[in-house]
Amino acid sequence: MDRRKFFKTVGLTGAGITLAPLIKTTSFAGTIFSEKPDTNINDALKYPRTADSMPGKFPAKVIQLMNDNSVQEDKFNKAAINDMVEKGMLSLTGKENIDEAWLTLFSPKDRIGLKVNPVAGPDLSTSPEITEAIIEQLIHAGVPKENILIWDRREFELFEAGFTEERFPGIKIIGTERKDKQGSFYNAEGKLYGEEMIDKKWYYWADCEEKYDAETIPYMINEGKYSYFTKICTEMVDKIINVPILKNAGASITLCLKNLAYGAISNTGRLHKQLWAETCAEVNAFPPLRDKVVLNIVDGIKGCFQGGPGANPQFITEFKTVLIGTDPVAVDRVGYDFILKKRIEEKIQKEDSAKGKVFMELAENLKLGTADLEKISITKIDMK
């Protein structure tokens, strides 16, 4: 099976299995879910929270921006997208000056990593245009270019999605799973390059495991019951801006929490079948993410309402929307309704399913943000 197709299938199937009817059940946060393998979530909760910990400086607050001019003749309008990001940051922070808005969350000394999502290729990845807008505004606010990097799990997918040195001169572009110039995952000693990028001091343990074949292991890095955090999070950045795509994952979504959790650790294949929702929530409770992700900017200029997280052209649509907030759970909750509305309009779903929100409720229980829509302040800005 083609590598990209394989991982799209795993992502979609994992979400579907997690959301399937359940037999052995217990009640949690008003939602029904099955008994699950044990994890080391209690280890994460032992670490004291910081001033930057999720849900950040503006909990339960989401800015939703719409701009019909953000896409013109199937092309991204960078100027319009830049205006959306700027207006959103001003509204989120309450500042009148855009530099002051960015400096509310960042300082020129911070090493900042932009966590994008390139897994679906050029057709449905975080757009270079919104990424450029963020970087240019950070630099204007005084953050040195050399302090900014773009990252994801798979470095080669970043390149394929348009995150190249040519487009982003002076910006480091890096992934955990890597190839050399000859296209090999292995160095001269026969060791995966990815092994050099994982930090075995930080891990998500879960009492489940899966054996991977020779084709799959380079994308997982390790087998067993441990999923290790990337050194990009633990060593290379001080703060993270999460820039996911507005898209579905079965009857649920893959926005802020999913982009971070499955993008920051190794050995994720074993987690989809039994712990999809738990992984989305619990991995974010560990300090390398909980204390460093201070801003979420959802790229909803284009997105998908079915077939996600892969790129299926018939389900890709122009939402012409950007969601901004420091609270990843609240942003996900608003994005969830956005996708749900489209799925109902397209007759893919008849009504909401509580199972699609399980991971957000788990995250709320871990104090990572607000999943109750009635408690979220949503500011809608139409920039037509």
Per the model's pLDDT, the better-predicted residue between 308 and 108 turns out to be 108
Q: Cβ atoms within 10 A of the Cβ of 191, count?
A: 11
Q: For position 4, what pLDDT does the model report?
A: 46
Q: What digits encode the pLDDT tens for the residues 137-179?
A: 999 999 999 999 999 999 999 999 999 999 999 999 999 999 9
Residue 11 confidence (pLDDT) above 50: no
Q: What digits encode the pLDDT tens for the residues 56-104?
A: 999 999 999 999 999 998 899 999 999 999 999 999 999 999 999 999 9
Give the residue carrying structure tokens 């530099």: 99
Residue 384 confidence (pLDDT) above 60: yes
Q: Residue 124 corresponds to which tokens in the numbers above?
A: 């449905």
- Phi-psi category of 252—alpha, beta or left, where left has phi over 0 and alpha has psi -120 to 50? beta
Residue 28 confidence (pLDDT) above 90: no
Q: Residue 364 corresponds to which tokens in the numbers above?
A: 């709320």
Nearest-CA neighbor of 382 among 63, 62, 65? 65
Q: What digits encode the pLDDT tens for the residues 300-354?
A: 999 999 998 888 999 999 999 999 999 999 999 999 999 999 999 999 999 999 9
145: three-class secondary structure by DSSP: helix
Per the model's pLDDT, the better-predicted residue between 37 and 29 turns out to be 37
Q: For position 234, what pLDDT does the model report?
A: 98
Confidence of residue 9 (pLDDT cuts 50, 70, 90): very low
CA–CA separation, 293 and 167 (whole Å) = 25
Q: For position 344, what pLDDT does the model report?
A: 96
Give me the long-range contacts of 51-54 (CB less than 8 A, separation at least 24): 52/239, 52/291, 52/292, 52/294, 53/290, 53/291, 54/284, 54/289, 54/290, 54/291, 54/293, 54/326, 54/327, 54/328, 54/329, 54/367, 54/368, 54/369
pTM above 0.85, yes or no: yes
Query: 293 φ, ψ to 5°?
Result: -80, 105
